[in-house]
Amino acid sequence: MTTADRKPRAFSGIQPTSDSFHLGNYLGALRQWVPIQDTADAFYCVVDLHAITVDHEPKVLHERSRVSAAQLLALGLDPEKCSLFVQSQVPEHPMLAWILGCETGFGEAGRMTQFKDKSAKQERTTVGLFTYPVLQAADILLYQTEQVPVGEDQRQHLELSRDLAVRFNTTYGSTFKVPEARIVKETATIKDLSEPEKKMSKSSPSPRGCVYLLDEPGQIRKKIKSAVTDSEAEVRYDVERKPGVSNLLNIYAALGDTTVAKLEAEYAGKGYGDFKGDLAEVVVEAIGPITRRTKEYLADRAELDRILAQGAERARQVASRTLAKAYKKVGFFPPAAL
């Protein structure tokens, strides 16, 4: 295969910190993963090492990692087209993270906004949470990644990955590819249905603020119909004055394969009731197949685990070569075979 024929390398990961992914995860990043596997050599990872930077129950984490993998397959990832695995299956991730941590400034790590946000919300802040972005950089750089499909909220972490790649290459010689972000602008950040000034999150203060991919149809309809709007009755896009309606328009346009402008015209003169009712059905129709397929994958856990083991084997083939190169550059002995 010539250089021109080679597919670009893509990598992305997601934490298994909830019983289900939510609509913000799906529209902000996960939906991009599916077409990318057709155009890139794609590696997708359930990042369970990142999940233990906060308190957790081991059995719950293990189960959530499996459910996360099942959802990713249900979304359309094909193990014949991409490598899907769980991060802890590939020990090269923390091994490279140590090297990169020694290249990262203390102040540089402390400026990461997600560390500030997460540390402010919990009583105990760990070193692992502080160095989380360094491990994320290792995740990306291990695979000589060129494209990183992520949500807008991860842009700062990706910039650190780029900085560390350039710094290491400058100090020790060419070792890592410098990755580029791949972010969908229109749906980069889906907002909370109850507090549309905030992004949709599993930690939403209201259980109705977050739509999960494994929600039942009745739950979805109830959440959409109770979504915060405003005292007007005009379906119009205005992020500053009408953040709730604007968020719903973004969701509708993304899932309904249409545009905000067309939706504004379609619902001109109609109230929020009609708009929300139609949107609820669009969301149910989009999420329903994902829920069904997830249950099918979870019904055959042996096959699911086989898929993950296969993905991890492929991932280790690539990751071990990168790690060996980095080890040699910094003066380490080569890692022993595991």
DSSP per position, 106-127: HHHHHT-HHHHHHHHT-S---H
- Helix H or strand E encompassing 41: strand 41-46
Outline where 26-112 has alpha helix (H): 31-39, 48-51, 58-75, 92-101, 106-110
146-171 average pLDDT score: 89
* SS3 of residue 13 by DSSP: strand
Least confident of 57-66, 127-136, 165-174: 127-136
Rounded Cα distance between 26 and 29, Å, is 6
* SS3 of residue 207 by DSSP: coil
Q: How many CB atoms lie within 10 A of CB 163?
A: 16
Whether 116 sits among the annotated catalytic residues: the reply is: no
Beta bridge partners of 43: 11, 83
pLDDT of residue 111: 85
pLDDT of residue 1: 44
118, 222, 325, 329: which is the annotated catalytic residue? Answer: 118
Beta bridge partners of 46: 14, 86
| Residue 245 C-beta-side C-alpha neighbours within 13 Å | 22
Q: How many CB atoms lie within 10 A of CB 335?
A: 14
116, 121, 177, 202: which is the annotated catalytic residue? Answer: 202
pLDDT of residue 6: 83
177, 191, 199, 223: which is the annotated catalytic residue? Answer: 199
Whether 202 sits among the annotated catalytic residues: the reply is: yes
The 10s digit of each residue's pLDDT in 41-87 is 999 999 999 999 888 999 999 999 999 999 999 999 999 999 999 99
317-321 average pLDDT score: 97
Rounded Cα distance between 26 and 4, Å, is 32
Whether 199 sits among the annotated catalytic residues: the reply is: yes
158-174 average pLDDT score: 96
